[in-house]
Amino acid sequence: MAKADFHNHSTASDGRLTPTQLVDLAAKNGVRIFALTDHDSTEGIAEAKRAAERHAGFFLIPGVELSTDIEDDEVHVLGYFTFEALTNEALQAALARFREGRFERGRLMTERLAQLGLPVSWQRVLEIAGEASVGRPHVARAMVEAGHVAQGRLGARCGARPGAPSGRCLGGLGHFQRLTGGLDRRSTL
Ligand SMILES: [Zn+2]
């Protein structure tokens, strides 16, 4: 039976692997149905498509992950669509708004960290994010660099999921909140 993986992040958002590296790794591990679901961005999909075409029988599903707020919690919604829909103006405009929201929340998070006595440079967070949509793992890596938290602690969850190809294991919300002594959720990503 074909393996499927419907939830993957690349360097287009907060993953550690490029879309090409992710697709190649998934194919190598026997995955045949694969969705790229970066946070608030479809920027990695064109590259993933080129990579997918190199693997016979590999089916790529374009997707995205959106963060939503509900009372006292946060729900991440995975969306899947067709390649034709990628250029849909309303979709791309909505994703751009989501990315702006992430940018502002990331900046607020660094302010909150400074209040908690764990200052990190917002400029450095942006450098770490590079072209990607800024996210909590980028802030987490800046915290490691600043010496506020050991890499091993942040990486602990990755170790628990050896098959996880993306950066999804880095900086889960609850984990991150424990590390920072409890950020209020409005300032998290
Ligand atoms: Zn995700």
Taking the centre of ligand 1 as the mean of its atom positions, its distance from the CA of residue 6, in whole angstroms, is 10
- pLDDT of 134-155, one tens digit each? 888 889 889 999 988 776 555 4
- For the cut 70, the answer to whether the pLDDT of residue 189 exceeds it is no
Sheet of strand 59-70, all strands in order from the earlier edge strand to the far edge: 3-5, 31-36, 59-70, 73-80
- How many angstroms does the Cα of residue 65 sit away from the middle of ligand 1? 6
Q: Above pLDDT 70, what percent of the chain?
A: 77
Using the mean position of ligand 1's atoms as its centre, give its distance from the Cα of residue 151 in Å. Answer: 21
The residues placing their C-beta within 5 Å of ligand 1, an ion, are 65
Q: pLDDT band at 164, cuts 50/70/90?
A: very low
| pTM for the full predicted model | 0.69
For residue 37, how far is its CA from the centre of ligand 1 (angstroms)?
7
Per-residue pLDDT at 95: 93
What average pLDDT does the segment 52-79 reach? 88
% of the chain residues with pLDDT over 90 = 53
CA of 150 to the centre of ligand 1 (A): 23
DSSP string, 63-101: EEEEEEEETTEEEEEEEE--TGGGG-HHHHHHHHHHHHH
What is the distance in A from the centroid of ligand 1 to the CA of 168?
A: 6
In this prediction, residue 182 carries a pLDDT of 43
Question: Is it the case that residue 58 has pLDDT exceeding 70?
Answer: yes
**3 or 138: which leads in pLDDT:** 3
* C-alpha–C-alpha distance, residues 128 and 131, integer Å: 9
- Higher pLDDT, residue 181 or 105: 105
Q: How far is the CA of 134 from the centre of ligand 1 (A)?
A: 14
Structural domains of the chain, with CATH: 3-187 (3.20.20)
Question: Cα of 38 to ligand 1 centre, how many Å?
Answer: 7
